[in-house]
Structure formats: structure tokens, C-alpha cells
Amino acid sequence: MEKTMQLYEGKAKKVYATSDENLVIVSYKDDATALDGLKKGTITGKGAINNRMSNYLMQLLEKEGVPTHFVKELNDRETVVRKVSIVPLEVIIRNISAGSFAKRYGVEEGIVFDEPTIEFSYKNDALHDPLINEYHALALKLASREEIETIKAMAFKVNSVLKAFFLSIGVKLVDFKLEFGRLPDGSIVLADEISPDTCRFWDAKTNEKLDKDRFRRDMGGVEDAYQEMMHRVFGE
Ligand code: ADP
Ligand code: UDP
């Protein structure tokens, strides 16, 4: 499978067309952004780690019955995925308070919820990805009621599979962002990536941050945190 023309360059990945109109190749970059694009930098080795970790997790989810866009890992940074039409929603699941949840509701980080929460942002950079509810998503015609129900059920299923997996490697899955897409037949699959860029990971014993918060908050040890997550997942 060969790349033909570049279709899109995002903040963290490039997307290329292939000779098969139903497949695209994603190429993961080391570029990192945060704070709504205001903070820019490089995390050496991030592209390869996110690519490999995302592919591993997508395959684990497939085994557990969650349909995903994953097709084939080509090399360290590049993967063939099914081309989807992205549903313009960022779907965020939380198990423990952190980040914008703690800030918005004036609570400390680290409160363990009795049940996971779900929230949606309208994926629109110009509007800074505003928080919306399901009725807003329907009014804006971002997805149908049936699609929203499917997405919610899939997102909670992803959470239960990943939460258990990460706990088994000594990591608390605090929160994460998912994106879903439509295949040509209209069915919904999990798309984009699952990585330390899109999840908060805390060491189960020490609560040490092992994710992009180290970059967002200028904590140092960013590359080491990504490497540590890679070692835990792949046991290397
Ligand atoms: P952003 O667009 O937020 O800067 P990225 O740099 O990660 O994000 O770019 C990757 C883009 O590819 C995103 O817009 C994402 O929604 C999109 N995408 C992810 N998976 C697929 C897929 N299977 N088919 C088509 N587009 C995808
Ligand atoms: N997240 C993401 N992309 C975004 C916004 C959030 O991947 O554009 C992830 C983030 O890594 C975290 C979760 O979604 O795991 C919840 O993020 P939050 O709403 O707390 O926002 P933040 O504090 O990152 O602004």
C-alpha cells in the first residue's frame, strides 16, 4: 500500500490518499500543540509511540467487539486505516476529575467518580471546540439520534476495556478523547487515535503523570513519560 497525495495535515498527523479509495494512510508526527494551539513544540519519538500504541489498543478493542478504522501498521509512524467521514464530535470519557472538568466545576483533580461521565465538544477549531450536549449535536445536525446512541454505547465499552487493560499494567485511565467516523455504508467505527496525547494516564501507585499533561504544564520529563507508557504497554 503506497501513499498517493496528501489529503490533510493536522496538528499531530498527516493523512494521505492511497490507490484504494476506501483506505487512507495516517502518518504520525512528533509535533505537539496544547492550549488551543497556542503552545507548540516537539516531543521526540512521540509519533512512533502514538502510532504503535494506538494500533495496539484498536486491535485490543476489535477483539472485544468494538469496530475500529484500523487496517494495517506499515512502519513505526504510518498506518493504513479505513477512510471515514469524521463525526465532528470530540467524545470525552472521564473516570477521575482532572483538567477542564476540575477547572470548570471548581473541584480538585483526583476525585474518583462512582460512574464514568461522558461529554461532547463540537470539533471546530475556529470556535475552539465548544462543549455541547446531545440536543445541540442534533440541532446542529452533527449526528443522528441513532448515531449518538451508538457512539455513547461504544465510548463506554471502550472505557471498560481500556480501564481494565491499563490497570493491569499499573496505570489509572483518568480520562480520554475519542473520535468516531462513518463508513460508506453509514456504520460507525472508532477512528483517530488513542495515545498519551489523547488520554490522561496516572501511575497507579504514585499518581505520577504519564501523558501530554507534562507538556501542557511544562513539567519536564515528557519524552520519558511517553517511553514509560510504551514500555508498560509492550513490555519492552
Ligand atoms: P487535528 O485535525 O485535530 O489537528 P490530527 O493532526 O490528529 O488532528 O489530524 C488527523 C485528522 O484525521 C483529524 O482531523 C481526524 O479527525 C482525521 N481522521 C482520523 N481518523 C480518520 C480516518 N479513519 N479517516 C479519515 N480521517 C480521519
Ligand atoms: N483531549 C484531547 N484533545 C482535545 C481536548 C482534550 O485529546 O482537543 C483529551 C485530553 O488529553 C484528556 C481528555 O481529552 O485526556 C479531557 O481533556 P480536558 O477536557 O480535561 O481538556 P484539557 O484539560 O486538555 O484542556
Task: From the CA of 82, give the closest atom in ligand 1.
Answer: 23
Q: Please tell me whether residues 146 and 226 are part of one structural domain.
A: yes
| Mean pLDDT value across the chain | 97
Question: pLDDT category, 186, cuts 50, 70, 90?
Answer: very high
Residue 213 in this model has a pLDDT that exceeds 80:
yes
Q: Please tell me whether residues 198 and 175 are part of one structural domain.
A: yes
Residue 124, pLDDT score:
97
Q: Please tell me whether residues 22 and 54 are part of one structural domain.
A: yes
pLDDT in tens, 36-64: 889 999 999 999 999 999 999 999 999 99
Residue 236 in this model has a pLDDT that exceeds 80:
no
Ligand located closest to 22 CA: 1
Kindly give, in sequence order, each residue whose CB lies less than 8 Å from that of residue 93, ignoring residues fewer than 6 positions away. 116, 117, 118, 155, 156, 158, 159, 175, 176, 178
The arithmetic mean of pLDDT across residues 121-139, rounded, is 97
Q: Please tell me whether residues 78 and 90 are part of one structural domain.
A: no
Q: Please tell me whether residues 197 and 105 are part of one structural domain.
A: yes
Question: pLDDT category, 1, cuts 50, 70, 90?
Answer: confident
Residue 234, pLDDT score:
97
Task: From the CA of 69, give the closest atom in ligand 1.
Answer: 23
pLDDT in tens, 88-120: 999 999 999 999 999 999 999 999 999 999 999
Residue 97, pLDDT score:
98
Q: Please tell me whether residues 125 and 207 are part of one structural domain.
A: yes
Q: Please tell me whether residues 20 and 101 are part of one structural domain.
A: no
Instruction: Count how many domains the chain has.
Output: 2
**Of 48, 64, 82, which residue is a domain's last?**
82
Residue 37, pLDDT score:
87
The CATH number of residue 52's host domain is 3.30.200.20
Q: Please tell me whether residues 132 and 69 are part of one structural domain.
A: no
**Of 82, 115, 142, which residue is a domain's last?**
82
**Of 28, 54, 82, which residue is a domain's last?**
82
Domain that residue 27 falls in = 3-82
Ligand located closest to 90 CA: 2
Query: DSSP for 64-130?
Result: TT--BSEEEE-SSSEEEEE--EE-SEEEEEEEE--HHHHHHHT--TTPEEEEEEEEEEE--GGGT--
Q: Please tell me whether residues 59 and 155 are part of one structural domain.
A: no
Task: From the CA of 100, give the closest atom in ligand 2.
Answer: 20
The CATH number of residue 170's host domain is 3.30.470.20
Q: Please tell me whether residues 51 and 126 are part of one structural domain.
A: no
Pocket of ligand 1 (CB under 6 A): 8, 10-13, 15, 24, 69, 81-84, 86, 179, 181, 191-192
Pocket of ligand 2 (CB under 6 A): 90, 92, 98-101, 129, 175-177, 198-200, 212
Ligand located closest to 173 CA: 2
Q: Please tell me whether residues 17 and 101 are part of one structural domain.
A: no
